[in-house]
């Protein structure tokens, strides 16, 4: 097949380019803007990201009864033996200063009597979760940061602009190519430092709490550019998404269980005591699998969440967003239990990055859910994700001055690069892929189903054409195929059960597998799998 000529892109030069506009991307942008001109490239509206929909809050040791060490211990326990302790220490020790910086920027957490209110969520040993407007913490953070970014004189925002590929010259990242969806025009961004803050991969699954933008674009682009990805088998399923028609699924925060809500099966039994000593506040992977097994045992597609032990006035004030959505869906929260079921929620998987956000490619940094630093291990501790975006978003600004600047010669070479061939998959693949991943690579996995998924993804990969970039939908489908292949390969490779990865044919944890799995693409685009140590996996 003859590849048609791709039009020459319009060229923009900046000091820094950031892909993504969630908490990690915007916090990094605001700090980098003190050092130079910043472009924020986002494929949808500025505020459309996982951050916008985060209900639970921010886990941080700010109370005098709490310590960063205690927070770190909880994180390590939840991580199923795969956390890098130095990264966990960085998160918990630098977290308080990052949250205080967020407050300085205008963030208003809920207070009572002048003191910030602290909630408790699963696997935390103490109340340390800060929240805003009850259960609309993510929305308030996104509002705070986006308003600051929009008025900053050194930040240019490019909405509805989707990255198609990273650009490299002489072994370093020099920027990216993108498509301006409003103008249907190709755009090239050049910079000494490119930061991927492009979010997760929840849309790989047909049942997910994630918005439609979460298609693993940054992970796929980094893989094509030669970066390693790690822990791709570890996808966290939230145990309590509202069971109803429609996608994305509405999340019912586990903070409601922190306030006393109880999961019940068809017989009305509070079943979590049979699965874990912490009952309804057990780690997310334990709760999600328990819910799944109760559903299967009862022959139902959901279990019930009982709010009756929470005083009504307290429930209304603490969870106004949840109350409002349940009422819009026609539920009588005063008289009935609410049907819930697990949904794909968060990826511990991502681009290999060190504690300073440096990837395998010079000039390319990565922060937030698209990365894997060994922070979350096999199972993220509740409400650590927003803190991750804050802490490592700030660290990006610290490391960037140490990165070499592009020379005039390199800029010239970058400007003259031929647009990389774009891999395009038919948009129709998306729905089929989501259903395949949900049925074959979901909460419980086994070899036969994983092999079937592997074969189907290989067939789709062969069908991906190399043509001029046409649409967001085509690019997302191609990226989803790329990332789904890596998830399946890693799930097949890890022959044990650990954290969020459960193999019914290997149901026990095997300490010989206390290591990370990494994946990279070779020159022929075949996946190469390897291992990395738990301590310092990104070095």
Which residues are annotated as catalytic?
A: 284
DSSP secondary structure code for residue 506 in this structure:
B
Residues contacting residue 402 through CB under 8 Å, at least 6 positions apart? none
Nearest to 446 by CA among 502, 509, 513: 502
Beta bridge partners of 344: 208, 237
Give Rg (Cα) of the chain: 22
Beta bridge partners of 229: 351, 519
Rounded distance between C-alpha atoms, residue 278 and residue 442, angstroms? 24
DSSP secondary structure code for residue 265 in this structure:
-
CA angle 359, 227, 385 (to 5 degrees): 55
Rounded distance between C-alpha atoms, residue 74 and residue 126, angstroms? 9
CB atoms within 10 A of CB 252: 26
Residues contacting residue 79 through CB under 8 Å, at least 6 positions apart? 88, 376, 377, 378, 379, 380, 381, 499
- How many CA atoms are closer than 13 Å to the CA of 330, on its beta-carbon side? 3
CA distances in angstroms from 330 to 268, 336, 421, listed in the order given: 22, 11, 49
3-state secondary structure of 491: helix
Rounded distance between C-alpha atoms, residue 166 and residue 176, angstroms? 4
């Amino acid at each position: 097949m003859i590849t048609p000529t791709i039009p020459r892109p319009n060229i923009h030069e900046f000091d820094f380019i950031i892909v993504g506009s969630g908490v990690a991307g915007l916090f990094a942008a605001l700090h980098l803007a003190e050092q130079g001109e910043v472009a924020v490239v986002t494929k949808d509206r500025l505020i459309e990201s996982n951050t916008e929909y985060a209900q639970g809050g921010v886990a941080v040791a700010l109370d005098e009864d709490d310590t960063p060490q205690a927070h770190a211990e909880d994180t390590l326990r939840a991580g199923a033996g795969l956390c890098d302790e130095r990264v966990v220490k960085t998160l918990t020790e630098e977290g308080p200063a990052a949250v205080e910086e967020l407050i300085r920027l205008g963030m208003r957490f809920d207070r009572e009597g002048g003191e910030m209110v602290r909630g408790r969520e699963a696997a935390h040993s103490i109340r340390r979760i800060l929240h805003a407007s009850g259960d609309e913490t993510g929305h308030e953070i996104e509002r705070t940061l986006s308003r600051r970014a929009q008025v900053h004189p050194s930040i240019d925002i490019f909405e509805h602009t989707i990255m198609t590929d990273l650009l490299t010259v002489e072994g370093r990242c020099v920027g990216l190519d993108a498509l301006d969806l409003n103008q249907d025009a190709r755009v090239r961004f050049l910079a000494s430092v490119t930061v991927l803050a492009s979010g997760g991969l929840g849309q790989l699954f047909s049942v997910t709490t994630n918005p439609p933008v979460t298609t693993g674009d940054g992970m796929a682009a980094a893989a094509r550019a030669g970066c390693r990805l790690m822990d791709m088998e570890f996808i966290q399923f939230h145990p309590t998404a509202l069971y109803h028609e429609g996608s994305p699924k509405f999340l019912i925060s586990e903070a409601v269980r922190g306030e006393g809500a109880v999961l019940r099966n068809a017989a009305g039994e509070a079943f979590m005591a049979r699965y874990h000593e912490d009952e309804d506040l057990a780690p997310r992977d334990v709760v999600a699998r328990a819910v799944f097994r109760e559903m299967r045992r009862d022959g139902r597609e959901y279990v019930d969440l009982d709010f009756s032990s929470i005083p009504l006035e307290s429930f209304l004030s603490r969870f106004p967003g949840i109350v409002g959505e349940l009422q819009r869906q026609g539920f009588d929260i005063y008289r009935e239990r609410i049907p819930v079921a697990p949904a794909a929620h968060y990826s511990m998987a991502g681009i290999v990055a060190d504690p300073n956000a440096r990837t395998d490619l010079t000039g390319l940094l990565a922060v937030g859910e698209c990365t894997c630093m060994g922070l979350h291990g096999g199972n993220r501790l509740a409400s650590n994700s927003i803190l991750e975006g804050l802490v490592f978003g700030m660290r990006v600004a610290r490391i960037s001055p140490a990165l070499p600047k592009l020379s005039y010669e390199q800029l010239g070479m970058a400007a003259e690069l031929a647009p990389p061939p774009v891999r395009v998959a038919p948009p129709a693949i998306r729905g089929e892929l989501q259903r395949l991943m949900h049925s074959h690579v979901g909460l419980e996995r086994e070899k036969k189903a994983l092999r079937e998924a592997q074969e189907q993804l290989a067939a789709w990969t062969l069908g991906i054409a190399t043509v001029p970039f046409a649409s967001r939908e085509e690019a997302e489908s191609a990226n989803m195929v790329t990332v789904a292949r890596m998830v399946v390969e890693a799930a097949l490779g890890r022959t044990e059960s650990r954290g969020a990865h459960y193999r019914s044919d290997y149901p026990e944890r095997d300490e010989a597998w206390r290591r990370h799995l990494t994946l990279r693409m070779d020159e022929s685009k075949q996946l190469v799998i390897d291992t990395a140590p738990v301590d310092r996996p990104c070095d």
